[in-house]
A = this chain, B = another copy of it.
Amino acid sequence: MTSAFDVLGIGNAIVDVIARADDAFLARHTLAKGSMTLVDEARAEALYGAMGPGIEVSGGSCGNTMAGVASFGGKGAYIGKVRNDQLGQVFGHDLRSIGVSFDTAAATSGPSTARCLILVTPDAQRTMNTYLGACTGLGPDDIDPKVVAAAQVTYVEGYLWDEPEAKKAVLKAFDTAHAAGRLVSITLSDSFCVDRYRDEFRALVRDKIDILFGNEAEIKSLYQVDSFDEALEATRKEAKIAALTRSEKGSVVIKGSETYAVPAAPVARVVDTTGAGDLYASGFLYGFTRGKPLAECARLGGIAAAEIICHVGARPETPLKGLV
């Protein structure tokens, strides 16, 4: 079966506003380090007013993944909702200019394009505060069945569960993909997100998901266990394929009784961990859709994650194709 796209990503279309902050700033604003918190517009304005100078870079977990797929040389498409404002134009440009197909109609009224206020502390951890804005307008009508059917894998963010219409859009896409004989994949996104939707996510993993992505905290939260090994065995019973990341310990891929533990790619100095998981997924999915063995998919994921944590921002600065 030929495919116009290797991967179709569906996600929250967000522009990141990245600023350095110290631990005292996080404490003063009661921000939980390393997490993603949804904020309303008033809270976003207040936090922005208190933050230092920032840089604006297109982001969004799944958008970052699609940028990674394109950077490897893969063919990608993206579905996500921006408004027709300046940051929306930036988001669209930054995907299209690297060859990712992005045709979701921008909202012409309502909230502005989503922003994620990212505070990077001296330990290179990122703490994210997301104002979803126009993302809340994503719904089933934005899913073009032809695009879904044309992609080998449809990959989505768990974050989309925070908006009921976006969840419906994902479920429509999953059903369309499976009806066309395609695969579907999800990232658990964030351990707090898993807390919010644990039962739904577990049912999804059992019933629909072909490739599951998550990090150690997320998968432990999903199965409510204390150790990674317990989480691994719980996942093995329910997931078809799971790629689980463990920061500097690398990643572990399981498929039935098969297990592939792959070390992390070496990194000279970690500057900003934003996007590590997103880029891991890009390498894995690029390898997978090119028919590579699972261990090689994990290795490609590790290469992409290593590139992204060496600099500020969650989109690749060095063509990933050249790092393979």
Contact = CB atoms under 8 A, between A and B. Distances in A.
Interface in A42-78: 48-49, 51-58, 67
Number of copies of this protein chain within its complex:
2
Interface stretch (A84-92, A194-202, A215-223, A247-255): A84-92
A313 interface: yes
A97 interface: yes
A206 interface: no
Interface residue tally of chain A, by bracket? 20 to 34
A165 interface: no
A57 B317 CA distance: 16
Nearest to A87: B86
A53 B97 contact: yes
Interface in A5-49: 17, 20, 48-49
A54 B86 contact: no
A55 B90 CA distance: 9
A81 interface: no
A95 B56 CA distance: 15
A94 B57 CA distance: 15
Contacts of A51: 93, 97
Contact of A56 (B20, B57, B67, B112): B57
B55 A57 contact: yes
A308 to B, nearest CB: 14
Interface string A76-113: 00000000011100100111011000000000000011
12 contacts: A17-B90, A48-B93, A49-B97, A51-B97, A53-B58, A53-B93, A53-B315, A54-B90, A55-B55, A55-B313, A85-B86, A86-B113
